Structure 1
Amino acid sequence: MAKKVELISSSLVSSTATAASISRLELNPWDLRLLPIIPIQRGLIFHRSHFQSQQHLIQHLKNSLSRALDFFPPLAGRLAATPHDGDTACFFVDCNNAGAEFTHAVATAVSISDIIEPRCIPEIVSSLIPINVGVTNYDGISKPLLAVQITELADGLFIGCAANHAVVDGTSFWHFLNSWSEISRGSESISRSPIFDRCNVAAVDNRLIHIPTLEKNLIKAPSQLLPLKVFHFSKEKLGELKAKANSEAGTDKISTLQALMAHLWLSTVRSHTTNNDSTTRVMATAIGARARMSSLPDGYFGNAVYFVALAISEGELLQKGLGAAALRINELISKQTDEAITRHAEKKVDFREMGSGPLPLGFGGSQWLDVYGCDFGWGKPIAVRSGKAWKLEGIVVVSPAAEAGGIDLEVCLSEEKLVALEEFITSV
């Protein structure tokens, strides 16, 4: 039987609140810089044995989503723009309760094992997360800022979500999903309220955004979807990597994630060396501002993340090894102080900077995101997967593993590079 996804129904789900807590959410520079790229796409996989009847379950999830939107009115709204002189516009979220998209689908020939056991993430996953190739965050002016697809599998359930990245980052995305799951479990409220106040982020005039620039796809979609593979690292394996990196560097300050990033960076270079010591190798990583910027509260809703990059010659990477690479990453991240973050937040938004230069090995996501706390009332998820739309070579998504202390890396590379990488990544 062909493995396909059949759409049963699709509708807009609005908040149940008669009046939203906010009517308008301003977008700051961190948000605005993400307008030309794609929404966040993630999907959670659950075993079927824990469910109620399917018909009741779908209606229950729709109702609980509606109630969850009471606490997150921007996700039920749309982007809006106020035009200004010189072909510029001020972008914001109109919390108009136009609704989030809710889709019910079935894939009775697809089992959980079909999704999590293949060597690479199978193409079917792209049909389980409600986003189309070519849709950018800028399209939130006319499209929902949040889309949910509930797909019944042969032996499980897949909850796929796509959220406009100009409105949420990973922390806010999982804050919402965990809050929705709380409501689904029967809670009348949520344990952590989102904070929408933008006053604690650098006050910048956001009007000078050239709309003609935004209408162009500055980050081109690849001609074909590249393979995505999940590399799993257990707590024990990570401990070995961290110990080796610190020992080689003669320090104790290299973190687990820094050692892991250095290991993957080195593995990609070793697996696809140019045999030219002067070739520049670039690694970029997301920096979360919440824990580093004293003025940002923990529940801040929006984007509080930016990227920093590190460039090292291929010869230096290969010669000096894991400890030296991890120490350079540690030093880069240590420079991201409150003052440095404020300077970045105050930089003028310039979309022409995007997509320039060689593609780095880019790390996003975090092992600290509460992915497996999303219990909708029938148990925790058994795995998380990302969507494949517009996945570019070198993109790495960091997620916590299902078991405590582990980390999963979703790595996007060409088939040739991925095959070569597999030979190096398992060695410490």
Structure 2
Amino acid sequence: MNGVPNYEGRSKPLLAVQVTELVDGIFIGLTMNHSIGDGTSFWNFFNTWSEISRTGAKPSKAIPIFGREYLDGIIDLPIRIPFFNEQIQEKFLLPTEPLQQRVFHFRKEKIAELKSKANAQMGTSKISSLQALMGHLWVSITRTRHLTSSSTDDQETKYLVIVGTRQRLQPPLSDHYLGNAVLFGWATSTVGDLIKRGLGWAALELNRMVASQTEQQVKKFLEDWFDKPRLLTRSAVVRSHSFVTGSSPRFDVYGNDFGWGKPVAVRSGSGNKFDGKLTVFAGAEEGSIDFEACLSPHTLRALAEDEEFMQSVAV
């Protein structure tokens, strides 16, 4: 299913699974059309399926909620979109540029240090662990990109974060709601300002961006999209000196057990990879976080040689 855009789900599978038997284990690959579900829906499905497989009984978790009542008064259902393939000028395609991936593991203690440092620098206590860690990556990777490319201080750098909206609605949407409840939020700076201002400033900018995704913003996004439906294109996301973080350390990625034991690792596929994609997962050890960084080879090499950054990474 790599390279298949979401809108082709009208005729192609919305869900695909592949199980590969290894000499010493099993690898389960799963892909879901992002139009029908977000990360919360994805991992609820994965973990419920694994529980049924392991126990052979009715799952202990609540059944999925399909209702769309929260849209009442915002948009009228069903949505009918005039749609013509010839109007689609751009697709999400597999990357053609050379890219490499590496997983950076951050232990609980190092994350706490970064959080404390970021809050102390900005005289606040509202920067979260994840925001501090994303700020650390934003500054560090931008610094190494700046050293290994022809970038200038006044070039723009953006960090797009996929923000869950379930708890931002009133009443909140259940975690068992099966659908796509996310918004995109951008934090913006110039390369020079970001490097000069450092961790605390970057983390606080991410905090402010996340906090701005209010219920009113959710409703406005839905209303605007209903009036003028539009596709998410590659150029809208993949920009020079920019980053995107998807997934969440809150997802129970190590909790699924099909009866063969719990996972030893989790990785994401190549379906939406590009230079600057930073996928976050909970680490295998409690309180730790993994970032799967997809970057150009020279940037990734420079990052691995950056002593300031690597001091925070568990080797």
What TM-score range do you get, normalising by the shorter chain? 0.7 to 0.9
AA aligned opposite 1:415: P
Q: Structure 1 residues 196, 221: CA separation in 2 closer, same or farther (over 3 Å shift)?
A: same
Q: Is 2:213 the counterpart of 1:336?
A: yes
AA aligned opposite 1:311: T
Q: Is 2:60 the counterpart of 1:180?
A: no
2:68 counterpart residue number: 198
For 1:146-200, what per-residue CA distance to the aligned partner results, in whole angstroms no more than 9, with x for missing partners? 1111111111111111111111111101000111011112253221211101121
Q: Is 2:25 the counterpart of 1:168?
A: no
Q: Is 2:276 the counterpart of 1:276?
A: no
For 1:16-55, what per-residue CA distance to the aligned partner results, in whole angstroms no more than 9, with x for missing partners? xxxxxxxxxxxxxxxxxxxxxxxxxxxxxxxxxxxxxxxx
Matched ranges for 1:219-234 at <5 A: 219-224=92-97, 226-234=99-107
1:418 counterpart residue number: 300
1:346 counterpart residue number: 223
Q: In 2, distance between residues paired with 1:409 and 1:174?
A: 18
Contact 2:66 2:177 in 1 (8 A): yes
Q: Is 2:275 the counterpart of 1:399?
A: no
Q: Is 2:118 the counterpart of 1:245?
A: yes
Q: In 2, distance between residues paired with 1:234 and 1:293?
A: 32
Q: Is 2:163 the counterpart of 1:287?
A: yes
- Give the superposition deviation at 1:415: 0.6
Decide which of 239, 247, 250 is 1:368's aligned counterpart: 250
AA aligned opposite 1:279: Q
Decide which of 130, 133, 138 is 1:260's aligned counterpart: 133
AA aligned opposite 1:197: G
Kindly report the root-mean-square deviation, in angstroms, between the aligned alpha carbons of the 2 structures: 2.0
For 1:108-133, what per-residue CA distance to the aligned partner results, in whole angstroms no more than 9, with x for missing partners? xxxxxxxxxxxxxxxxxxxxxxx3x3
More helix by share: 2
Q: In 2, distance between residues paired with 1:168 and 1:301?
A: 6
For 1:334-373, what per-residue CA distance to the aligned partner results, in whole angstroms no more than 9, with x for missing partners? 1111112221222222227652473520010000001111
Q: Is 2:24 the counterpart of 1:152?
A: no
Residue 193 of structure 1: SS of its match in structure 2? coil
Count of residues paired in the alignment: 297
AA aligned opposite 1:318: I
Q: State the identity %.
A: 44
AA aligned opposite 1:400: A
Gaps of 5+ in 1: 1-130
| Runs of 4+ that moved beyond 6 A | none
2:197 counterpart residue number: 320
- Give the superposition deviation at 1:322: 0.5
1:32 counterpart residue number: none
Residue 139 of structure 1: SS of its match in structure 2? helix
Contact 2:5 2:91 in 1 (8 A): no
Contact 1:213 1:351 in 2 (8 A): no
- Give the superposition deviation at 1:145: 1.5
Gaps of 5+ in 2: none
Q: Structure 1 residues 189, 217: CA separation in 2 closer, same or farther (over 3 Å shift)?
A: farther
Q: Is 2:262 the counterpart of 1:383?
A: no
AA aligned opposite 1:147: A
More strand by share: 1
| Farther-moved stretch of structure 1 (209-218 vs 227-236) | 209-218
- Give the superposition deviation at 1:272: 1.3
Q: Structure 1 residues 213, 174: CA separation in 2 closer, same or farther (over 3 Å shift)?
A: farther
AA aligned opposite 1:289: T
Q: In 1, distance between residues paired with 2:232 and 2:163?
A: 21
Residue 235 of structure 2: SS of its match in structure 1? coil
AA aligned opposite 2:294: C
Q: In 2, distance between residues paired with 1:181 and 1:275?
A: 47
Contact 1:285 1:364 in 2 (8 A): yes
Residue 285 of structure 1: SS of its match in structure 2? strand
For 1:207-264, what per-residue CA distance to the aligned partner results, in whole angstroms no more than 9, with x for missing partners? 2343225655433432256212111111111111111111111111100000000000
TM-score (ref. length: structure 2) = 0.88
> Per chain length, whose mean CA-contact separation is higher, i.e. which structure has more relative contact order (CA < 8 Å, sep 6+)?
2
2:291 counterpart residue number: 409
Q: In 1, distance between residues paired with 2:97 and 2:22?
A: 26
Q: In 2, distance between residues paired with 1:293 and 1:354?
A: 28
Q: In 1, distance between residues paired with 2:98 and 2:31?
A: 18
- Give the superposition deviation at 1:320: 1.2
Matched ranges for 1:71-110 at <5 A: none
For 1:31-85, what per-residue CA distance to the aligned partner results, in whole angstroms no more than 9, with x for missing partners? xxxxxxxxxxxxxxxxxxxxxxxxxxxxxxxxxxxxxxxxxxxxxxxxxxxxxxx
Contact 1:279 1:313 in 2 (8 A): yes
Residue 192 of structure 1: SS of its match in structure 2? coil
1:75 counterpart residue number: none
1:140 counterpart residue number: 9
